Structure 1
Amino acid sequence: MKKYMFILIILNFILTGCWDKRELNELAITLALGIDKVEGEDEYEVTAQVVVPSAVSMKDGTGGTAVTLFTENGETVYEALRRMTKVSPRKIYPGHLQMLIIGEELAKEGIGESLDLLARDWELRPDFYVVVAKDVTAREILNVTTDLESIPASKMFAGLKVSEKAWAGTYGVTLDELIVDLISEGKEAVLTGIQLAGNKQIGSTQQNIESISKPAQIKYDNLAVFKEDRLMGWLTEQDSRGYSGITNSVKSTVTSISCPNEGKSTIEVTNFHSKIEGNIVHGKPEVNIHTKAEGNVGEVRCKIDLKNPESIQELEKIYEKEATRIINETIDVLQEKYQSDIFGFGEAIHRSNPEEWNKIKENWDEEFSDLTVNVKVDMKIRLTGTVNSSFLEKIKN
């Protein structure tokens, strides 16, 4: 597997035609970058996670880790990257970057300036994910060894892609998408948080991947709320899921709901579509959110007759009520606590009423905080599984 991974990396260079064989031997292939703010200094600390060719090649494997880290400081990100040539025998090459991790302290001060180089560098493909390190530095995240994927950057990239498809609380944002949100009128940016759970000292050693239960693990957290280019705070898991529902970002997820009498059931959401419509009503902006969802009964922990159409309708109504509650509470948090329109309600007003938007856009923060939002959710349960009623009924009778 390692041999194939290394071959694929080589082929990427050959097929793009950017570099010849001689130049490839002079490049440090960088799959992840971390950018932190140096405490007490007007400098950046930049960390590059670089592939070790001999470690990922089966033929030349040395038994060591598949990546190495280079870290340098600089007044700009560009300067720090160039300064790495003092310690790296090869030039740092980020053309195949998969992950950019921004430190939490830097995010609070503003990420715009630190992204400038990455946005204009012609060697970079802007399809890599951008995340925010929560409660740790970006360097500490990149210093953790991982299993399943020997290259931590690849594990982080694949993990976010899988989580985004299966769980509505995470959201993969590429550099292109982030920049669009940062410069848009009527929409603020969000990024998924990434954390280090466990012992970070052991996490940087080979011991971390030799245990069944890992002393340290990288895990994705909830969404980070931005206003302009500054981190304002963090959403809860429920609010992160609410955001995904509002912005039509749910690909698939599961939701636990109450049964009509007592107990719980779980709905697997297989299809989810939200539409945001902006209007001006009696001279005031207003937004309507209409959500249509389809799903299956995934788990039943209550007494309910799933062969009865009325029971299915009851579950649908309970789901609709719960989803509406989550969406409304998420909107309340953003209006009252952060005053940050991460949903794009302003964009919806702009699309429907460009003239009115031009009148209110300068005061959109205040308008957003008082905005009336009407939410309607429709759920249709399609399947109930291979067992119509839970076998728990017979056990507990």
Structure 2
Amino acid sequence: MKKRLALVLWLCCACLGGCWDRVEINDVALVTAVAMDFVSDRAVELSVQVFVPRSLSGGDGGANEAMTLIRSAEGVNIADAMSKVQLKIPRKVFWGHCKVYIYGQELARHGLEEYIDYYARHPEPRNRAFMYVSKGKASELLKIMPPLERYSAEVVRKLSELEVGLAVTLLDLQKMFANPTNAAALPMIDMMKPPKKERPQATNPYLFGTAVFKNGKMIGALSDRTTQGVLWLRDEVSSTTVTIKIKDERGFVSLNPIREKTKLTPLIENGKWKMLVDIETEGDIVQNGTKLTLNTPEQIARAEEGMREDIQTRIRLALSQVQKEFKADIVNFGREFHRKYPKEFAAVRENWDQVFSELEVETKIKAFIRRPGLISVPGGLPEAEVQTN
């Protein structure tokens, strides 16, 4: 009996993994951001931003010590370049904390499909990490020392989490490249002009538009205003301000949409392809630069009409570029047709760019103003000049 018990205990001990393959935190280099730049048709430059733990406690350099360090290397692909970067870092590189991946614009124009596989295949990179295209060289954005956040990756990540523009994760980008429409979009970032010439790196990165891709290659860019139209069509408007002009009135009125819903309804009638776009939004007035009180049904109706016209203008601007100029379906029309008309879509799949550029888009916008704010008359305006009707 004792021998059997000893045998069972031995077998149990043999099955325990223990800590033989442990990696101490002091032996790990935490990557906070990654930048990739084009070198040649056979080489890419990989730059990693690594967090410096001792900077939190002052280190040897005190309060002025950098929070991160940058290491770069060239290779025929990301895996090759990464193996060379590891030679320059005395700790094991760990990708699990990296939430920011930046592609240089030149690399984006040559194509990104080849550079997605490494992050999708490797077990450490996060699928929820945010992806960007930089206006210039991507590695330069890693060197920024922002005055508000600890390092540049924090600034970029928080901008995406605020949803003030297009936000695309690694998982989103994989789905876009696998989409039969062969179109994708990534937010673009650039550096603000530094306030002091002697400190060129003491500045902030910022979002300034959208990079449009077809077949994995960047073919153009959209402005901030056009991007807002794309967000309305994609049902991704979260944090924005709509500034409108009320007909026959001087000044502007600004509103914050608090709820928004976009519904896409594809139709094929008599061989004609058509997309119905129904948008319903509710907003609050945050600034009134007119002489109207905006607290009567008539005045509210005029403001709601201005809001509808502004959204319509943004959508038309977006469709003019993505549908007519780029012929790139980044507004997910193809996905909706594929769901409702799978056989018909399969028949035009190879020619979807042309079908997308020619299909009719009909928009119906319902805009409602729910709250005019804490005051009933324009602030700072003499009562005699206020229009109550």
1:303 to 291, 300, 312: 291
1:175 to 167, 170, 176: 170
Deviations 1:179-224 (A, max 9, x none): 001101236211110101225985665xx2xxxxxxx321111111
Distance in 1 of aligned mates of 2:20 and 2:208: 38
Q: Which amino acid aligns with 2:185?
A: V
Deviation >4 Å, runs of 4+: 17-22, 58-61, 199-205
1:217 to 204, 227, 233: 204
Alignment of 1:76-91 (within 5 A): 76-91=77-92
Alpha-carbon distance, 1:58 to partner: 5.5
2:367 to 373, 379, 382: 379
Per the normalisation by structure 2, the TM-score is 0.89
SS at match of 1:253: coil
Counterpart for residue 151 of structure 1: 151
When residues 202 and 102 of structure 1 are mapped into structure 2, their CA distance, relative to the original with a 3 A threshold, is farther
1:191 to 153, 176, 186: 186
Distance in 1 of aligned mates of 2:282 and 2:28: 49
Decide whether the 8 Å contact of 1:188 with 1:226 is kept in 2: yes
Counterpart for residue 290 of structure 1: 278
Alpha-carbon distance, 1:396 to partner: 8.2
Higher CA-based Rg: 2
Counterpart for residue 341 of structure 2: 353
Unmatched tracts of structure 2, length 5 or more: 1-17
Counterpart for residue 337 of structure 1: 325
| Pair 1:255 & 2:242 matched | yes
Q: Which amino acid aligns with 1:346?
A: G
Identity of matched residues, %:
28
Alignment of 1:43-82 (within 5 A): 43-57=43-57, 62-63=62-63, 64-82=65-83
Distance in 2 of aligned mates of 1:257 and 1:19: 65
Decide whether the 8 Å contact of 1:278 with 1:351 is kept in 2: no
Counterpart for residue 6 of structure 2: none
Counterpart for residue 131 of structure 2: 130
Q: Which amino acid aligns with 1:77?
A: I
Alpha-carbon distance, 1:392 to partner: 4.1
Distance in 2 of aligned mates of 1:202 and 1:219: 21
Q: Which amino acid aligns with 2:166?
A: Y
Distance in 2 of aligned mates of 1:243 and 1:44: 31
Unmatched tracts of structure 1, length 5 or more: 1-16, 209-215
Deviations 1:93-144 (A, max 9, x none): 111111000010010010011111111001222111000001x111101111
Q: Which amino acid aligns with 1:87?
A: K
Per the normalisation by structure 1, the TM-score is 0.87
Distance in 2 of aligned mates of 1:161 and 1:255: 20
Moved more, 143-152 or 177-186: 143-152
1:237 to 202, 224, 234: 224
| Pair 1:268 & 2:281 matched | no
Decide whether the 8 Å contact of 2:126 with 2:170 is kept in 1: no
When residues 237 and 396 of structure 1 are mapped into structure 2, their CA distance, relative to the original with a 3 A threshold, is farther
SS at match of 1:147: coil
Counterpart for residue 10 of structure 1: none
RMSD, aligned CA: 2.2
SS at match of 1:48: strand
SS at match of 2:70: strand
When residues 18 and 260 of structure 1 are mapped into structure 2, their CA distance, relative to the original with a 3 A threshold, is farther
| Pair 1:318 & 2:303 matched | no
SS at match of 1:295: strand
Counterpart for residue 113 of structure 1: 114
Distance in 1 of aligned mates of 2:214 and 2:179: 11
When residues 19 and 174 of structure 1 are mapped into structure 2, their CA distance, relative to the original with a 3 A threshold, is farther
Q: Which amino acid aligns with 1:99?
A: V
Q: Which amino acid aligns with 1:306?
A: L
SS at match of 1:303: coil
When residues 189 and 203 of structure 1 are mapped into structure 2, their CA distance, relative to the original with a 3 A threshold, is farther
Q: Which amino acid aligns with 2:107?
A: L
SS at match of 1:350: helix
Decide whether the 8 Å contact of 1:81 with 1:92 is kept in 2: no
